[in-house]
Amino acid sequence: MVPKLRFSFKSALLPYKLGTLTQWSSGGTPSKDNKSYWDGDISWFTAASMKSNELSVSPTKISNSGLVNGSRLANKDDILLLVRGSMLFNKIPVGILLNDAAFNQDVKAIKSLKNFNHTFALQWFLAKEPLLLSMVTGTGIGAGKLDTKELQSLDVYLPGDEEQTKIADFLSSVDEKITLLSKQYELLCQYKKGMMQKIFSQQLRFKDDNGESFPQWEKNALSDLGNTYNGLTGKKAEDFGSGNFYVTYKQIFDSRIINPGNFGLVNILKDEKQNKVEYGDLFFTTSSETPDEVAFCSLFLETESVDYYLNSFCFGYRVKNIMKTSPVFLSLLFRSDYFRASVKVLAQGSTRYNISKNQFVKLIVTIPVMEEQIKISNFLTAIDDKITAKKVQLDKLKIWKQGLLQQMFV
């Protein structure tokens, strides 16, 4: 077997079984009833803490007593692989340890043996994620699992030590760039979040073009600033798939501003009474699995002269006077932690949370004059543009790396 992309090496790759190149061990969970087992100095990894391909510090820690009485220590350069959990249906969490750490029973620690470079081994696992996803089976309780024996029987076509090192070093340098871009993206998001908190709490105020202070912000009920309307009603499954465009539930979560894209299609009969959406409308989700996601907001900025509609699990909000209140400003306010704190208390439910439009429009918001709204919107939108550009750059690099993995490994 010969990969499509190599570093000027000509020799054929030798086949091995993964189990012959590695040593596997299982972790565990110390008793939660014994407090002396927890909050120590040893990082303890679970599915929730495996968020990177480089693992060093876990938010959950155990003590030496906890390690001896219920868990196991993996060593620096060992690979941790999640083998049980609901997350496996969507992705395969895997990472290399930068220091010794413990792990639970849903995770396997994999130690590379002599002729299997540990960094190369990590990249091999990353390259094989599509294959690993196809191997996930259900447990019957909503979780997925990977069978250890099946994993160990996988074929690894192994190059020589020098080529392994070159591949590992090159891909590690790509990972470093991805990590740097990810950090820059996270810092921009944190900066925006902090600035929004300061702006909407009025800790930070803007000046007019003459350097003068704007008037005080005024309190308004949302019912005074705009009106709500329902999404699609009375539609059946067979009505979807063709016809008119409609804004989907997922789009509201995926984007702060909804522009032309992957709209849904729904058949609207002639003279059928359905609420059409307009430029500048704000959309909110009415139902979600957590209170944090109830009444999530997006802004509609589509200008084409065609009819658009809204998903039935959402409701629309239309500003009454756009000369007094900017929809762009409101969309930023509605996505701020400052506003969402008042929304979450309205969420009702147990397994699924809902919000009433009647309760929603009673909420009081404090807004500045239009001139200050515009300055705030321009300032925060400029940060959003930088965040979007950084995210595009990051996504492109990840896709490029994924292409490299597919060409370098067989």
From first to last of its 410 residues, the chain has per-residue pLDDT tens of 778 888 888 888 989 999 999 999 999 999 999 999 999 999 999 999 999 999 999 999 999 999 999 999 999 999 999 999 999 999 999 999 999 999 999 999 999 998 999 999 999 999 999 999 999 999 877 789 999 999 999 999 999 999 999 999 999 999 999 999 999 999 999 999 999 999 999 999 999 999 999 999 999 999 999 999 999 999 999 999 999 999 888 888 777 788 766 788 999 998 899 999 999 999 988 877 777 777 778 888 877 778 899 998 889 999 999 999 999 999 999 989 888 888 888 888 877 888 888 889 999 999 999 999 999 999 999 999 999 999 999 999 999 999 999 999 98
Q: Which residues share a beta bridge with 107? A: 82
Q: Number of structural domains, the chain?
A: 3
Residue 389's SS3 state is helix
Residues ≥6 apart with Cβ < 8 Å to 373: 325, 326, 329, 367
Q: How many whole angstroms separate alpha carbon 28 and alpha carbon 120? A: 27
Interaxial angle between packed helices 370-408 and 161-200, expressed in degrees from 0 to 180 and rounded to the nearest 10: 170
Task: Assess whether 153 and 164 both reside in one domain.
Answer: no
Residues 285, 296: contact at Cβ < 8 Å? yes
46 in the same domain as 22 = yes
DSSP labels, 187-223 = HHHHHHHHHHHHHHTTSS--B-TTSPBPPPPEEEEHH
- Say yes or no: 253 and 298 in one domain: yes
Say whether both 197 and 150 belong to one domain. no
Alpha helix ranges (H) inside 346-369: 357-360
Tell me the pTM. 0.82
DSSP state of 295: T
Domain-located, residue 64: yes
Is 398 inside any structural domain? yes
7 part of a folded domain? no
Within-domain flag for 6: no
Residue 260 pLDDT: 63
- Give the C-alpha separation, 44 to 84, whole Å: 16
Same domain, 205 and 288: no
Joined tokens for residue 195: 């600035």
Whether residue 304 is found in the same domain as residue 388: no
Does residue 50 belong to any structural domain of this protein? yes
Maximum Cα–Cα distance for the chain, whole Å? 76
- The three-class DSSP label of residue 349 is strand
Q: Give helix 337-344 / helix 327-334 axis angle, nearest 10°.
A: 70
By residue range, what is the domain housing residue 42?
A: 14-158
The whole-number pLDDT of residue 342 equals 86
User: Would 399 be classed as within a structural domain?
Assistant: yes
Q: 25 and 92: one domain?
A: yes
Half-sphere exposure of 350 (CA within 13 A, CB side): 0
Cα separations in angstroms, 213 against 220, 328, 374:
21, 22, 15
Residue 172 shares a structural domain with residue 145: no
Task: Judge if 222 and 363 occupy the same domain.
Answer: yes
Residue 202, in any domain of the structure: yes
Residues 166 and 70: their CA atoms lie apart, in Å, by 39
Domain harbouring 404, CATH code: 1.10.287.1120
Q: Which regions of 213-338 does DSSP assign to beta strands (E)?
A: 218-221, 226-230, 240-247, 257-258, 264-266, 282-285, 287-288, 297-300, 308-310, 314-319
Three-state DSSP at 5 gives coil
| 115 shares a domain with 54 | yes
- 200 and 68 both lie in a single domain: no
The structure tokens 């809204």 sit at 310
Domain annotation covers residue 4: no
> Which contiguous run of DSSP H or E holds residue 364?
strand 364-367
pLDDT of amino acid 274: 94
- CATH at residue 285: 3.90.220.20
As given in the structure block, the two tokens for residue 76 are 């620096």
Do 12 and 1 meet the contact criterion of CB atoms below 8 Å apart? yes
The sign of the CA dihedral 44, 47, 49, 50 is positive
Cα(388)–Cα(394) distance, integer angstroms: 10
191 plus 81 within the same structural domain: no
